[in-house]
Structure 1
């Protein structure tokens, strides 16, 4: 155990590589903690995090207003295309824009449309499992965790096959902006270039879907109608980019993080192999135990109280799901992996009006991946002696992961 930890340094090696330990210390110090370095409140208690997620009336998600908008104002004029389209992401907006766009996107992105994908996901997973055989070391991020979600979200959207992997590269450059990677000083310039390329690539595809709809998400988005309201081309493009990014990046990290956790709890791997019906609860337990999202940010539109602390209008608030999901006040034996855990009220997908739209797709991909991998391989070996993660406050993503699967 590290004795001297700077609880204000959210990008320290301890916070990045050992967040359970770091945020446990922080939660035990104060579940609602003023961090002068981040210049805002850090919320780590499960009850408090849930309270903030549900209070959208007083806590804004708008990243282009309030204290977050003020810090971006200088860069927005320099990187106009990047910020123009990021500002159309419905997840970063409040009512009424959020409600309007999400309602229209919901008409296209339905749970039923996701479940229809299951046979195709099963087929893809089967194809990706075969190269893992043979008992040789594989780059799991590149050979499995990267490929499955990028193909799934691209096919779901209706992105032309020739653009799928290029879109992933552009998405990665956007990730450095969205997740504020502390080791990439050039992230804004690369993000602007990536956004230019993505918009140029998607604009003719969206136009083609308006003229000749197909059975894909882009077609359903351009056809979505609520009264007289429809999504503009720029809104379709922006939120398609959001789905590519969110649908790929987070699921890739969920799959990789899960294999690390299963390596630490081999009894749960054997349990899943013996009882495949546990795949659904296993996916939710992995989302709780070491999910792909560490934290989400909000800011106060008016004064309020959270966990006994007085939050002033304009204060920034960081909701640390990684800590809330390990709060012993809400989860029995939270440091233990239990793939049959019920109930499992984890906060990884958020709550309230901003709950993650892509949750059913992430669960589906994780379930099918866990099923296929556990059936094919009784055990596996993670080769990294020490795991390292990308230095961001809001995401949990490994820098590398090498595994040998044993038949």
Structure 2
């Protein structure tokens, strides 16, 4: 890689097949040679070193309210923009703080732990249906399990999971960072509109007949006053359901593929299942499901020897920061005995992922069950297919045989 190549590097290059397969050598070059890198294709600044990423995510001068105003006449496009703009992901304090406090009550360790028997039962059932035959681990297991878990926690009918997955995919495509054709964009917008209508109907049902679930609790909070409007509730339910299972799907697929390539590490875990927390943490560091997130400067800011001007966009590369040798020993090596609380896979600071604990919890259960029941799992590493995305790193296909 020449000096001119690194100067010309753009976020859009992550769509190239060779970088989709392995972006990490490029990340290293950026960290070493141009850690605060101006994207030549107009994507703003790319920040790759761990300390700089933390500085951006900690600094209130870098705003999460980075959505461009919608000038579209199309009603569905306007509704989609309104939906996104109400989500915690795209809000700064105090609105972000107010919403997060309300939703965080549903993601306490105690509440998540209470779902352990159901999550273990679902994991066992799905793995049993996959047993003894070649399957696509993503389609047959890593997609349905997280959908069922987050639907169960929210109080969404599990039988709606196929439709919910389709709408979630529409939501994810809007955040993927890859270029979209007009027809694909319209389809994604229609999915978000359908998502809105679905939750509006479900909220009306819970108002009439509350149940012992997260959705009923949130509806009660909305009815208590100005703490949570119905539109805020709907927008953030979409975020929780879509993001709540999408990242977990990628975590499970990325983890199994990485462990299949490092069989000694897998065997080490099989012999010591108590390593589940550190294994999941290491997989998150090594192949984070979310690779990129963004901010917008609200003032001129000096960072890494560069001046980021007010109004300019900043993309922090979480996947690059997680392999910064300034913070992690042998960062390109998968080590299931490594445990660091410093991984940035779920972000950092006030906007760190509210569902991170649930994703870790699910993954620990899944990998522990795989190790106990299928220590000889066969993974067709050379036939794995990655998704097309800049922001997310995951798989659409991973052929496996469980035995």
Short-chain TM bin = over 0.9
> What is aligned with 2:122?
124
- RMSD, aligned α-carbons: 2.2
Q: Relative to 1, partners in 2 of residues 1:12 and 1:89: Cα closer, same or farther, differing over 3 Å?
A: same
Q: Name the stretch that deviates more: 175-184 or 192-201.
A: 175-184
Per mean C-alpha deviation after superposition, the further-off stretch among 79-88 and 295-304 is: 79-88
Identify the match of residue 40 of structure 1 among 36, 39, 44.
Answer: 44
Aligned to 1:251, which of 245, 248, 254?
A: 248
**How much does 1:144 deviate?**
0.8
Q: 1-side partners of 2:280 and 2:181: how far apart?
A: 31
The count of residues paired between Structure 1 and Structure 2 equals: 399
Q: Residue in 2 aligned with 1:105?
A: 103
Q: CA deviation at 1:227?
A: 8.4
Report what 2:94 is aligned to.
96
**1:12 corresponds to which residue?**
16
For 2:308 and 2:332, locate their aligned partners in 1 and report how far apart those are by CA, in whole Å. 30
Cα deviations by residue, 1:12-56 (Å, 9 ceiling, x for unpaired): 22332211122122222211111121431101101111111111x
Pick aligned residue for 2:318 from 314, 317, 321: 321
> Is the partner of 1:298 in helix, strand or coil?
strand
User: 2:126 & 2:299 partners in 1: Cα distance?
Assistant: 50
C-alpha separation in 1, matches of 2:32 and 2:359:
31
What residue in structure 2 maps to residue 213 of structure 1? Answer: 210
> Any idea what the Cα deviations from partners look like across 1:237-269, whole Å, max 9, x if unmatched?
111111111011111011001111001111111
Stretches of structure 1 that go unaligned for 5 or more consecutive residues are none
Structure 2 residue matching 1:108: 3-state secondary structure = coil
Change (3 A) 1:370 1:242: same
Partner of residue 362, structure 1:
359
Q: Distance in 1 between matches of 2:136 and 2:310?
A: 47
Check conservation: 1:109, 1:217, Cα contact below 8 A: no
SS in structure 2 of the partner of residue 319 of structure 1: strand
Alpha-carbon distance in 1 for matches of 2:366, 2:282 = 15
Structure 1 range deviating more: 82-91 or 137-146: 82-91
TM-score by length of 2: 0.93
Which residues of structure 2 form unaligned runs of 5+?
none
Q: Which residue number corresponds to residue 22 of structure 1?
A: 26
Which of 169, 175, 180 aligns to 1:178? It is 175
CA distance in 1, matches of 2:315, 2:229: 32
Shift of the alpha carbon at 1:384?
Answer: 4.5
Match in the other structure for 2:227: 230
Equivalent in the alignment of 1:143: 140
Is the CA contact 1:179–1:395 (under 8 Å) kept in the aligned structure 2?
yes
Q: Aligned partners of 2:198, 2:157: CA distance in 1, in Å?
A: 10
Query: 1:242: which partner in 2?
Result: 239
Question: CA, structure 1 residues 164+183, in 2 after alignment: closer, same or farther (shift >3 Å)?
Answer: same
How far apart are residue 77 of structure 1 and its match? 6.2
Deviations 1:261-311 (A, max 9, x none): 001111111111111111011111111000111110111000111222211
What TM-score results when the alignment is normalised by the length of structure 1?
A: 0.92
User: Equivalent of 1:62, from 65, 71, 81?
Assistant: 65
